Amino acid sequence: MKRENLIWNPYLPDFEYVPDGEPHVFGDRIYIYGSHDRFNGKKFCMNDYVCYSAPVTDLTDWRYEGVIYSPSRDPRLEDGVYQLWAPDVVQGKDGRYYLYYCPDDRIRTIGVAVCDEPAGSYEFLGIVQDAAERYIGERDGDTIQFDPGVFRDEDGTVYLYSGNGPRTRSAIGKEPKASVVMTLEDDMITIKTEPKKLLPVLGEAEGTGFEGHEFFEASSIRKTGGRYYLVYSSVTLHELCYAVSDRPDEGFRYGGVVVSNADSFPVPGTVSEDTEDNALSGRLRREGRPPFTKEFKNCYGNDHGGIECVNGEWYVFYHRQTNRTMFSRQGCAEKLHMQADGSIPQAELTSQGLYGKPLPGSGVYPASMVCELYGKARPQISFSLAMGMRYPYLTQDGPDTDPDRNERKPWQYIANMQKGDTAVFRYFDIKGADRVSVRVRGKANGVVKVFTEDGTEAVGEIRIFPAKEWTSYTAEMKLPEGVHELRLCYEGRGRMDLLAFKIG
């Protein structure tokens, strides 16, 4: 299905799995640096680093830049058994571009590679070290180095952020984990200042404002309006939060949630059922404030990303889970609405993503642009053994592939929709639409009910029948004019796969 000057989530091709996206504008293009999952992979980040870029003036026009780095270029990883986890890139004073990365968690130091251009072939430079050439992460007293984020301030100082934290109380103190920041010399691999603790991790947050949203991993730093914004993944796993300070290396205070890949928002007045939130709910009750729970609208997993200003507009880049696992993640993005006081309201998950406005309310769209996918069972962590076949999920027919292969690329679709399962797509600017079609297959025998808002009456329903091959079914119905979401809810016997839908 061609995009034809449109863009939606995921913003890269359906067959591409680039999570942990760090967006950076260099010159007149935005570049995405991330790790690289494999469809149906058995581990995180099984493929080489690749890069995509787009003109800052046209976020519908993403270009594949190719492989920029592979583990074999690092002499520590020549045996090919390690994966490259989430990276970040910065331009140095010399005009070259430096890539910072950690291999998987068996190696606890930060590698550095360098290139003369943002999306060229990076070559191994070295490992972040101190003046005595001892590797940071291996010295006595060092904390684990993990998920490096790098930032160059206006005065030329380069700050390197790193670390992770325990996610459960039983893990506190079992490993040397922390959120840390250090500065680098002009050679970009030697530290100028020693790592110092930055954000509180689990067990350190009482009285700080970070309670319930302690630092877990994924440091990403940006500066705007004289403020430094540190985006990170919290202990809840599914959310990216932000902390803000007037300085890049201290004084950060909790800001809020930027985005949740479960599309989870607090619901005031109810008691939390989540282990991570019990302590916070208790504190809220003691203070006379309403405790909350979280409604999950997607089966969720870890999250990692960053924020970036592109052509005057701010966006958050994050990732979603597919194929009932956390090992096949895809990059998504949402427009942000930065406030005058510097706060960032939580972004709602949408299908429109980088398009920045409602999509045209007519035409054929892929089911893979779904932004909420849930059923009668409350969504939970994306893990195939836990999920079983109770939940609908995104998948594809065919093996992992890449843009360089001269072959038909697999289509992504929603699998395993059962009675009561709902797929949500938002938003569309609907004008005069009088029918909706779905393209499905499976043993389903029932109807697909069409809604344009949550909690309202269906505007129509589409009768479907069992079909081994992809088959289209259509029903006439009058969709209301204006900006609306589209909700497709299956009711009937058997299971259904959904490939696409058509409005009008």
Structure confidence by residue, pLDDT tens digits, 48-90: 999 999 999 999 999 999 999 999 999 999 777 899 999 999 9
Residue 118, pLDDT > 70, answer: yes
**Backbone torsion region of residue 17, taken as left when φ is above 0, otherwise alpha when ψ lies between -120 and 50, otherwise beta:** beta
pLDDT category of residue 42 using cuts at 50, 70 and 90: very high
Percent above pLDDT 70 for the chain = 94
Predicted local confidence at residue 268, as pLDDT: 56
Mark whether 113 and 212 lie in a shared domain.
Answer: yes
What per-residue confidence (pLDDT) applies to 290?
A: 43
C-beta atoms surrounding 361 within 10 Å: 20
User: Which residues lie closer than 8 Å to 275 by C-beta, 6 or more apart?
Assistant: 168
Instruction: Determine the Cα–Cα distance for residues 8 and 184; give it in Å rounded to an integer.
Output: 38
In CATH, what number is assigned to the domain containing residue 148?
2.115.10.20
Please tell me whether residues 395 and 434 are part of one structural domain: yes
Residue at 286 is within a domain = no
How do 422-430 and 359-360 pair as beta strands?
parallel
Q: For the stretch 71-80, what's the b/e string if a residue is b when 16 or more beta carbons lie within 10 angstroms of its beta carbon? A: bebbeebeee
**Do 484 and 341 belong to one domain?**
no
Domain check: are 116 and 167 in the same one?
Answer: yes
Q: What is the pLDDT of residue 267?
A: 63
Among the candidates 330, 357, 384, a domain finishes at 357
Are both 113 and 187 inside the same structural domain?
Answer: yes
Whether residues 387 and 342 share a domain: the answer is no
Q: Dump pLDDT digits (tens) for 395-438.
A: 999 999 988 877 788 899 999 999 999 999 999 999 999 999 99
- Please report whether residue 5 resides in a domain: no
**Structure confidence at residue 134 as a pLDDT band (50, 70, 90):** very high
Is 276 annotated as catalytic?
no
3-state secondary structure of 355: helix
282 domain-assigned: no
Residue 70 to residue 498: CA distance in whole angstroms: 36
3-state helix, strand, coil in the chain (%, to 5): 5, 45, 50
Residues 353 and 441 in one domain: no
Percent of all residues in the chain with a pLDDT value above 90, rounded to a whole number: 86
Number of structural domains, the chain?
Answer: 2
20 in catalytic set = yes
**In this predicted structure, what is the pLDDT of residue 170?**
93
Among 16, 22, 65, 217, the one annotated catalytic: 217
Strands (E), 313-354: 313-322, 325-335
What pLDDT was estimated at residue 293? Answer: 56
Instruction: Give the number of other Cβ atoms within 10 Å of residue 119's Cβ.
Output: 22
Residue 28 has pLDDT above 50, yes or no: yes
Is the bond into 473 cis (omega within 30 degrees of 0)?
no
Selecting among 16, 20, 334, 421, the annotated active-site residue is 20
291 domain-assigned? no
pLDDT exceeds cutoff 90 at 105: no
Q: Please report whether residue 270 resides in a domain.
A: no
Determine phi and psi for 76, rounding to 5 degrees. -75, -20
Residue 279 is assigned to a structural domain of this protein:
no
Summarize the confidence of residues 470-483 as an average pLDDT. Answer: 97
- pLDDT at position 202 over 90: yes
Closest CA to 189 of 264, 111, 103: 111
State which of 334, 357, 380 marks the end of a domain.
357
pLDDT tens-place string over residues 279-308: 444 444 444 444 445 789 999 999 999 999
pLDDT for 101 equals 98
Strand (E) or helix (H) holding 369: none
Assess whether pLDDT exceeds 50 at residue 20.
yes
List, in order, residues 6 or more apart from 158 with CB less than 8 Å away.
90, 92, 150, 151, 152, 183, 184, 188
CA 246 to chain centre: 27
> Is residue 33 domain-shared with residue 64, that is, in the same domain?
yes
For tokens 């999952």, what's the residue?
37
- pLDDT category at 357 given cuts 50, 70, 90 is very high
Q: Are residues 343 and 416 in the same domain?
A: no
Per-residue pLDDT at 163: 97
187 located within any domain: yes
DSSP state for residue 121 in the 8-state scheme = -
From 339, 357, 375, give the residue that closes a domain. Answer: 357
Q: Is the dihedral of CA 302, 308, 311, 315 positive or negative?
A: positive
Q: Which long-range contacts (CB under 8 A, 24 or more apart) does 74-83 make?
A: 74/103, 74/111, 74/113, 74/124, 75/124, 76/103, 76/107, 76/111, 76/127, 77/103, 77/107, 82/106, 82/107, 83/35, 83/43, 83/44, 83/45, 83/46
- Does residue 221 have a pLDDT over 90? yes
Which pLDDT belongs to residue 1?
57
* Alpha-carbon separation of residue 316 from 144, 153, 226, 319, 356 (angstroms): 27, 20, 19, 10, 12
Tell me the pLDDT tens digit for each residue of 149-183. Answer: 999 999 999 999 999 999 999 999 999 999 999 99
Residue with the larger pLDDT of the pair 388 and 483: 483
Pair (160, 209) in one structural domain: yes
Residues 313 and 399 in one domain: no
Q: CATH number, domain at 488?
A: 2.60.120.260
Using alpha carbons, select from 437, 418, 435 the residue that is nearest to residue 367: 437
Assigned domain for 49 exists: yes
Looking at residue 269, its pLDDT comes to 46
Task: Domain of residue 112: give its range.
Answer: 22-263+298-357
152 with 96, same domain?
yes
